[in-house]
Amino acid sequence: MSEKSVQARGICKSYKSLFGSAKTVLEGISLDIDREEIFGLLGPNGSGKTTLISIFSTLIYPEKGNLSILGLNARRDRGEIRKIINISTAKPNFPWSLTVRENLVHYGMLYGLYGLGLNRTVEDQIDAFELGEYRDVKFENLSTGLKQRLSLAKAMLNHPRLLFLDEPTTGLDPDMSAKTHDLIRRIHEEEGISVIMSTHYMPEAELLCDRIAFLRKGEVAALDTPQNLKNHLGLGKRVRINYRGLANLDALGALEGVLAVRGKPGMLEILMDSNEDSLDRILKSFQDAKILDIDIEEPDLEDVFLELAR
């Protein structure tokens, strides 16, 4: 049996408002996450992704439920767990007056590193995240993307067995995002580090994650591999139509078999179910327009996201 990085049963969390009423953020979350996988958390804003990562990383406690991290009890063994995990958040906040290197040394010391081992580890992370030319730049003068890279470098200082990534590529340009994706895969495969990540970027989740839990209103609405999620929902095809003339979007969206319609006059993207008759109904709806071009593709994870968020 595969060792679990996380075993959660019935996790619940709510927050009290200023007026005394409680808002439920998580309701009965149960998950088994294997060491061998990169696990994704997806969902709309306010669905509970960040709260769940905060609970898994022992930053906050749930009101109800049982939680085991790498075989350790999340409440009783919190100190031991924190030695073997780390986290990188979407909006890192480090000591503003410290430079990149000084921040990494600071956190390395907090993780129990010292002497030559500390210096070697810091330099390794500066190289891995291409921070060499910024090593003496203060945190307050870094761009959003560089702050994110520093946060990722910090998260690797203690060589964690389990790494939590909350929106890991927020603020990064496409080139650095691609490099970050490569690094996430490398540390997972070569160093055996378990990864649990939340993201809003559907291509990122589809590229990296072995399985995905889709959260909606604090509950797990779906849990499976990206491909199985698409198969189980029966999403059929994505149809792109370029046309000239008039198209009734309201009537098109109301057609049987049409799951979603988006685009602009002259170009529409339609998500349809797997029924072959649905495409025929879509094409017939363009009787007052001339179809210039049609492109039919398999659905992607963004289509799954839109359908599950409905």
The string of DSSP codes covering 147-185 is: HHHHHHHHHTTT--SEEEEESTTTT--HHHHHHHHHHHH
Confidence at residue 1, expressed as pLDDT on a 0 to 100 scale:
45
Sketch out the chain's domains with CATH numbers. 36-57+74-230 (3.40.50.300), 235-309 (3.30.70)
Confidence at residue 52, expressed as pLDDT on a 0 to 100 scale:
95
Per-residue confidence band for 287, with pLDDT thresholds at 50, 70 and 90? confident
Phi, psi of 62 (to 5 degrees): -80, 155
For residue 170, is pLDDT > 90? no
- pLDDT above 90 covers a percentage of the chain that reads 49
pTM: 0.78
- pLDDT above 70 covers a percentage of the chain that reads 94
Tokens 């349809």: give the residue. 272
The better pLDDT of the pair 302, 247 is held by: 247
d(CA 210, CA 216): 20
For residue 14, is pLDDT > 70? yes
State mean pLDDT over 107-135: 94
Region of poorest pLDDT, from 1-10, 37-46, 167-176, 262-271: 167-176
Confidence at residue 121, expressed as pLDDT on a 0 to 100 scale:
96
d(CA 92, CA 168): 10
Confidence at residue 161, expressed as pLDDT on a 0 to 100 scale:
94
Virtual CA dihedral for 132, 134, 137, 143, nearest 10 degrees? -150
Q: In what order do the strands lie in the sheet with 194-198?
A: 85-88, 162-166, 194-198, 38-42, 211-216, 219-224
Confidence at residue 47, expressed as pLDDT on a 0 to 100 scale:
86
Residues 292-301: pLDDT tens digits? Answer: 999 988 766 7
Per the prediction, the chain carries an average pLDDT of 88
Contact criterion met (CB below 8 Å) for 224 and 280: no
